[in-house]
Structure 1
Amino acid sequence: MTRARTVARRGFLIGSAAILGGVAFGVVAWKRDPENPLLAHLPEGTRTLNPHVLIDAAGVTLITPRADVGQGAVSIQTYLLAEELDVDPATVRTDFGPASAAYYNARIAAEGMPFAAWDDGLTARAARGAGDAAAKFIGLHITGGSTTVADAFDRLRAAGASARETLKQAAADRLGVERDALRTEDGAVMPPEGPPIPYADLAEDAARLTPIRVAPRDPAKWRWLGQPVQRTDIVAKSTGTFRFGTDIVLPGMIHATVVTNPAMGGGVRSLDDRAARAMRGVQDVLPVAGGFAVLADNTWRAMRAARAVAVDWGEAPGRAMDTDVIRQAHADTFTSDNRDSRFADDGDVDAAPAGDAEAVHAEYRAPFLHHAPMEPANATVLHDDTGTQVWTATQVPVFLRDAVAKLTGQDAERVTIHNIASGGSFGHRLEFPWVLQAVEVAMQVSGRPLRMTWSREQDMTHGFLRPMAVARGQGTVGQGRVRSFDLSIAAQSVTESQIGRLGLPAIGPDVTIVAGAWDAPYAIPNRRVTGYRVPAIVGVSSWRSVGASHNGFFVETLMDELIHRAGADPVEERLRLIHHAPSRKVVETVAGMASWTGPAPRPGIGRGIAFTYSFGVPCAQIVEVSDTPDGLRIDRLWIAAEVGRILDPVNLEAQLSGGALFGMGHAMMAGITFDRGAIEQTNFHDYESLRLRQVPQVEVRALGTTGDIRGASEPAVPPAAPALANAIFAATGTRLREMPFSKTLRFA
């Protein structure tokens, strides 16, 4: 089927769904704003003007509902609100707010549609609109997919502008002047004459008014956005005063840790906890599903005692899985029965090569990966008959609230999620098994607050993983050009696994299996990308850049092999093939940054280029390596990306460079393997990543030439692995087709 026919059929189906959805829910309901959730539990003396602004005698609190997992989400949300409300971002208070449909993420649902982000056609726009509506009806309060800035840009500025003008109207009514005669500055309304009126003095009157809606300010009048600014959390994080989940202290708090069977799904045959109970500070040993919890007067004593418990673990149910068995399951998936999608199907890749065409065939592999954030998974819970309160870092507060309600048997209205900033995530905080375990234990000590912390070993062996993926690629070249490109990708469905744990059905093909591959903007005459869904084997989850994290490696390594076989230049041939102008520009830019003259500028030196398009962001990278007696040394890394309008240039550079180094380090050394149903890696000693001595010199350039608003936390991850692999080939002649690369060679 041609691409035009494929898109047409897909568009018809999605368009029909959108129309039916509009009929079912009603256009009026679609346009109606969700109720302000802050009104439900408003403290005495506090007023709210909209879901993002609270005002009391002490000043302004801004509600920044997207989770902060280290990427600076709270900071940029604060600047977006403060820019319009005229409050100092460095001094206002912030809060994540309650779990609520009012904070639904429209962009993440729209971006999940099977249309390339560069596709601005009528059908694609209609589909994204349908995604927006679905997110609103579902109440999709979620952080992920590099959507925080894109989703917040208009909404938070509008909220800030509305609050500002409503406060001005309250002052105008009090003073008997026109609202246009007033201005605002540093948390106060400034009359033409007389002293400033603090927002706190106007909040009660303003709360009685119908909120005034106005357009946000012209960017030319911005004070902070677009300028180099200091992140609002940087001082606290630099001085050790920032509060993470492990800093929560409640009166009478119990500390706990949980240990469960290392073999997935296995139980407990027998348990001897006498030695643990005799240890200092230990208060109890309690059962949890698949294991036990140790309660003590501090976390360290709980973890020490947990190691003293003698356990006879049961075997994993069913066939004990190991890595070889799982690999074979992936290899067996390349059949028509398991085909999940074929969103890209141009020309005729099956036609026999003609004339001087040469064929390339290759297989590529990517391992399971763990998120492994630095902060241990933790949650603090206070449960009793009146309700349950949870303090934890989560990217899915509504789903977590509902899961806790189901576990406790309480109504969702009696469950309160206090969201906390996280010391890293990379997708980990989209999950919450440790939170449910904490609730399970807290229910056994009802009325007392309990903080549960997973050990690193428990986290490493029980987290949901980035799926293993296998790709089979082939293509032809002739007359110095790439003529055909055919890539088949087999992986478990992240969407099926994740939303299945949330109790939702997975409908239709999973775009994440082929993300970053089918939508790569290459105008190759004969091009096909097919996704194959591997039957569920282990629990998998979103890992930083999701499917694009491995598909970038598959696409760009196959491209490099084809270009090399064609005898073409890796930069020039990519530029010839890319049909998307901003994407061509990032490739041209990164080549200029590196003064590109070819993949092997000097003996023993190799350069590799890779380009990926993910989360609507074209990103190109060039890596330079040296082949030394001590192993491969990574010397230079150049990054160019187009995220559209640049709001925080300092943090943008940090996200792009950090994403690239994150992707590079995992490609070099990280992988999760299984033995008899259990994960073998237990800590950072056998799950390594980039070391400080291995970090190359990095240069970043963000173009900012389009009007788009895009996120930058993930798009720099996918091109890092293929850029490094292509550089290594240029330096050594060794073609790397499997990650981690340390299985094949040594790094200095």
Structure 2
Amino acid sequence: MGRVKTIARRSFLVGSVAIVSGVAFGYYMYRKPGPNPLLDDLQEGEAALTPYVKIDASGITLITPRADSGQGAYSVQAMMIAEELDVDMDQVRVDPGVPSPAYYNTALAAESAPFRPTDRSTMANTTRGVMDAVMKFTGMQMTGGSTTVPDGYEKLRMAGAVARETLKVAAGRRTGQDPKKMTTERAHVILPDGTRIAYTDLATEAAQIEPVDHLALRHPSRWRIMGTPQQRLDIVAKSTGTQRYCIDFEPQGAVHATVRTNPRKGGAMLGFDATAAEKMRGVKQVLPITGGVAVVADNTWRAFAAVQAIDIDWDDAPYPLEMDSHWQALSDSFNDDRLDSRKRDDGDVAAAAHEATDAEVVEAEYRAPYLAHAPLEPSNATVLVGDDRVDVWTGTQVPRFVQANVAKLTGIDADNVHVHVQMMGGSFGQRLEDDVERQATEIAMQMKGTPVKLTYRREEDMVHDHPRQIAMARGRGVVRDGQVHAFDLGIAMPSVMSSQMGRQGWTVPGPDLQIVAGAWEQPLKIPNYRVSGYRAPELAPVSSWRSVGASTNGFFHDVFLDELIHAAGADPVEERLRLMWHEPSRKVLEAVAEMSNWATMPGAGRGRGVAFCTSFGVPVAEVIDVTATPDGTRIDNVWVAAEVGRVIDPVNFENLVQGGVIFALGHAINCEITYADGMAEQDNYYAFEGLRMRQAPKIEVRGLENDIHVRGMGEPMVPPAAAALSNAIFAATGQRIREMPMNRHIDFV
């Protein structure tokens, strides 16, 4: 093992890893890779160089560090490695790995840099490189921002390729034959005479070989797995009810806990009386925790019942108690003192407005409410605290944050905090927070040596969610000679990043680009074009919700653009195409127009609306077809076209887009979180209703592959959906809806 460890600590331009009986291989953008987590717990005869592929006597394990909350992240990561490794999907198992800087997210750099995704200038690319270095040196292991595919597209494929070629060299060492004359297939090296040697049989030799680092990735024309329809690795388990989620994990000897904390988030607990709860059947302990109280019982249901029997005195909220004050805070933020960014300021919008006649000026105000994440699986985590070790079983998008915060709470070194990442039953951004892990740790610290399984009641989960930001926008534009001449949009919202990262003890410097995300970066050449972001004061604590700032701004920007186009008397598709200078975006809009047969009239009582939004670097266009019935508006059809550079799995791509559209429409129509006396009024699904089956439209999807940059599709279909629906309703009824949820203004059937 000593020899292998020596090799493992070298720095390669292309890293590799061998584990015997196992081999693990990986690719690094930099010459000096970070610490390899596989070195920390080597068994006799094992070796490790880098972290992505593990081959041992029992089979092939692919390390897939981007979290899976139902979007297929484990499968798509495995596909990218398997493609170059020459293994089939039925030959592998996946493991999310351990928290480690080695798994930092390379693609987050593009989202963090203050440049439009279409800006490929030297300055933009240099800044992205600097941001990537920041991500590496901070070990930013995070799943989010639709980065799973762009993060892994090259490095995971390279991991498979390095492994494949090094295994061929190992076969050459054993047989004396030329590796260049060998091929690979289904986890075997094939010698020139047809002899097949299993990868697992070559692990020992491969562990001693310097990795092959001069190779090229296969051209897409040679792909066997990527780009073709695949069955996800979890589909059988999910179809048969055998998929195990975090909430299903229960170690032997575990006790069950639940909590109540101040429903006015961030407020204190002034006192409590647990006399009645302590006498209830199955209750083991009632324990104080930060901001509230926990009940530990012999099963979850008894813990739920007992926690409700506690009489608690809560302090006030540290934010406005009523919704009117929240909206007023946004309204008051449209001033120079609150200006956070003005990333788009083309031409002279003030002069254009000054020169315009009253007939040429269009003004409007838009609103978007707080929204809960509300995944189907309620928040839960299991924690076991020992004298010098902590184990945490949880579903999380930020395992290193969990590790660091548990270490701070317990005083145990982070290297001895072992986070076992589990499959999640949904997230939509909720699992970027770690409240449940911290609370489970607080309880487990008071019950050392006993595993504590903490599960939230649905009501606790909803009320204590850190929701999507509330937002308001004001637009003022000018139309002239049948065209959009000036576009001035101001957006006010609290800072999502400051709220979210502040809970991690981080200060976010400079402007929060999420305030203008999905608005300022649109590839339009309007002569006078300005987008301003105004940072509202902190209100209710907020967090990243699927597509973050773009989830509101895609609605604001495109509905206002549609109003201007209508005022100009232009065709909604043709005017958008005229304004659009980015060719891949034009093709997206042209594709959705063709898919929806835009040129035809939809018929009496029907309307068709189009919307476009670039978010996370992905141009997406959507057309929605609605019918105005005597009982309300019916959504009939949705067409979606998106440019992602490469579609890795057409089946999962289609399902992900369709699910995202349903998610977006349900929230746009039905959902909001409102506060009264500082508390969220919606505490379960009956008051936060998703799109019903009877309301669900037919959805047609097309993925385009014209751009050179590979992107992810977990979020970008969300921002245009509400805008396309609002525009369709206007086309059908003449009623312009500028506020969500839309059921405040019309009925849906």
TM-score normalised by L of structure 2: 0.94
Residue 447 of structure 1 aligns to a residue whose secondary structure is coil
Give 1:267 shift.
3.0
Residue 662 of structure 1 aligns to a residue whose secondary structure is helix
* Alpha-carbon distance between aligned partners in 1 of 2:319 and 2:72, rounded to the nearest angstrom: 43
Task: Name the counterpart of 2:518.
Answer: 516
Task: Name the counterpart of 2:434.
Answer: 432
Q: Which amino acid aligns with 1:61?
A: T
Residue 262 of structure 1 aligns to a residue whose secondary structure is coil
Task: Name the counterpart of 2:392.
Answer: 390
Cα deviations across residues 484-515 of structure 1 (Å, max 9, x unaligned)?
A: 00000001111111221222221111111000
* Alpha-carbon distance between aligned partners in 1 of 2:31 and 2:130, rounded to the nearest angstrom: 13
Tell whether 2:475 aligns with 1:477.
no
Task: Name the counterpart of 1:690.
Answer: 691
Gap regions ≥5 residues in structure 2: 1-27
Give 1:275 shift.
2.9
Residue 487 of structure 1 aligns to a residue whose secondary structure is strand
Q: Which amino acid aligns with 1:293?
A: A
Residue 31 of structure 1 aligns to a residue whose secondary structure is coil
Question: What pairs with 1:264-279 in structure 2 (closer than 5 Å)?
Answer: 264-279=265-280
Cα deviations across residues 558-580 of structure 1 (Å, max 9, x unaligned)?
A: 01111111111111111111111
Deviates more, 1:175-184 or 1:148-157: 175-184
Equivalent residues of 2:267, 2:315 under 8 A apart? yes
Give 1:235 shift.
0.8
Deviates more, 1:211-220 or 1:616-625: 211-220
Deviates more, 1:165-174 or 1:526-535: 165-174
Alignment coverage as a number of residue pairs: 719
Equivalent residues of 2:320, 2:539 under 8 A apart? no
Gap regions ≥5 residues in structure 1: 1-27
Task: Name the counterpart of 1:297.
Answer: 298
Task: Name the counterpart of 1:99.
Answer: 99
Q: Which amino acid aligns with 2:696?
A: V
* Alpha-carbon distance between aligned partners in 2 of 1:34 and 1:613, rounded to the nearest angstrom: 34
Equivalent residues of 2:320, 2:326 under 8 A apart? no
Tell whether 2:249 aligns with 1:252.
no
Give 1:70 shift.
0.8
Cα deviations across residues 310-369 of structure 1 (Å, max 9, x unaligned)?
A: x23222155652211111111111111110000000111001134696101111000011
RMSD value, Cα:
1.7
Task: Name the counterpart of 1:443.
Answer: 445
Residue 90 of structure 2 aligns to a residue whose secondary structure is coil
Task: Name the counterpart of 1:617.
Answer: 618
* Alpha-carbon distance between aligned partners in 1 of 2:496 and 2:398, rounded to the nearest angstrom: 16
Equivalent residues of 1:660, 1:719 under 8 A apart? no
Task: Name the counterpart of 2:405.
Answer: 403
* Alpha-carbon distance between aligned partners in 2 of 1:356 and 1:306, rounded to the nearest angstrom: 61
Equivalent residues of 1:338, 1:534 under 8 A apart? yes
Equivalent residues of 1:266, 1:313 under 8 A apart? no
Task: Name the counterpart of 2:542.
Answer: 540
Residue 598 of structure 2 aligns to a residue whose secondary structure is coil
CA 61–49 in structure 1, closer or farther in 2 if over 3 Å, else same = farther
Task: Name the counterpart of 1:113.
Answer: 113
Equivalent residues of 1:545, 1:718 under 8 A apart? yes
Give 1:549 shift.
0.6
* Alpha-carbon distance between aligned partners in 2 of 1:737 and 1:515, rounded to the nearest angstrom: 19
Task: Name the counterpart of 1:307.
Answer: 308
* Alpha-carbon distance between aligned partners in 2 of 1:318 and 1:194, rounded to the nearest angstrom: 72
Give 1:98 shift.
0.9
Residue 384 of structure 2 aligns to a residue whose secondary structure is strand
Tell whether 2:607 aligns with 1:641.
no
Equivalent residues of 1:356, 1:478 under 8 A apart? no
Task: Name the counterpart of 2:78.
Answer: 78
Deviates more, 1:262-271 or 1:323-332: 262-271
Question: What pairs with 1:199-278 in structure 2 (closer than 5 Å)?
Answer: 199-213=199-213, 214-278=215-279
Task: Name the counterpart of 1:134.
Answer: 134
Q: Which amino acid aligns with 2:245?
A: F
* Alpha-carbon distance between aligned partners in 2 of 1:517 and 1:142, rounded to the nearest angstrom: 25
* Alpha-carbon distance between aligned partners in 1 of 2:558 and 2:596, rounded to the nearest angstrom: 19
Give 1:596 shift.
1.1
Task: Name the counterpart of 1:360.
Answer: 362
* Alpha-carbon distance between aligned partners in 1 of 2:35 and 2:242, rounded to the nearest angstrom: 35
TM-score normalised by L of structure 1: 0.94
Question: What pairs with 1:704-719 in structure 2 (closer than 5 Å)?
Answer: 704-719=705-720
Residue 590 of structure 2 aligns to a residue whose secondary structure is helix
Tell whether 2:541 aligns with 1:558.
no
Q: Which amino acid aligns with 1:66?
A: R
Residue 511 of structure 2 aligns to a residue whose secondary structure is coil
Cα deviations across residues 63-106 of structure 1 (Å, max 9, x unaligned)?
A: 01101111111001011111111222123121111111111111
Task: Name the counterpart of 2:11.
Answer: none
* Alpha-carbon distance between aligned partners in 2 of 1:605 and 1:471, rounded to the nearest angstrom: 28
CA 362–243 in structure 1, closer or farther in 2 if over 3 Å, else same = same
Task: Name the counterpart of 1:11.
Answer: none
Residue 243 of structure 1 aligns to a residue whose secondary structure is coil
* Alpha-carbon distance between aligned partners in 2 of 1:448 and 1:319, rounded to the nearest angstrom: 37
Task: Name the counterpart of 1:16.
Answer: none
Cα deviations across residues 374-429 of structure 1 (Å, max 9, x unaligned)?
A: 11111111111121110111111111111111111111111111111111111111
CA 149–629 in structure 1, closer or farther in 2 if over 3 Å, else same = same
Give 1:285 shift.
1.5
Question: What pairs with 1:582-661 in structure 2 (closer than 5 Å)?
Answer: 582-597=584-599, 601-661=602-662
Residue 132 of structure 1 aligns to a residue whose secondary structure is helix
Task: Name the counterpart of 1:376.
Answer: 378
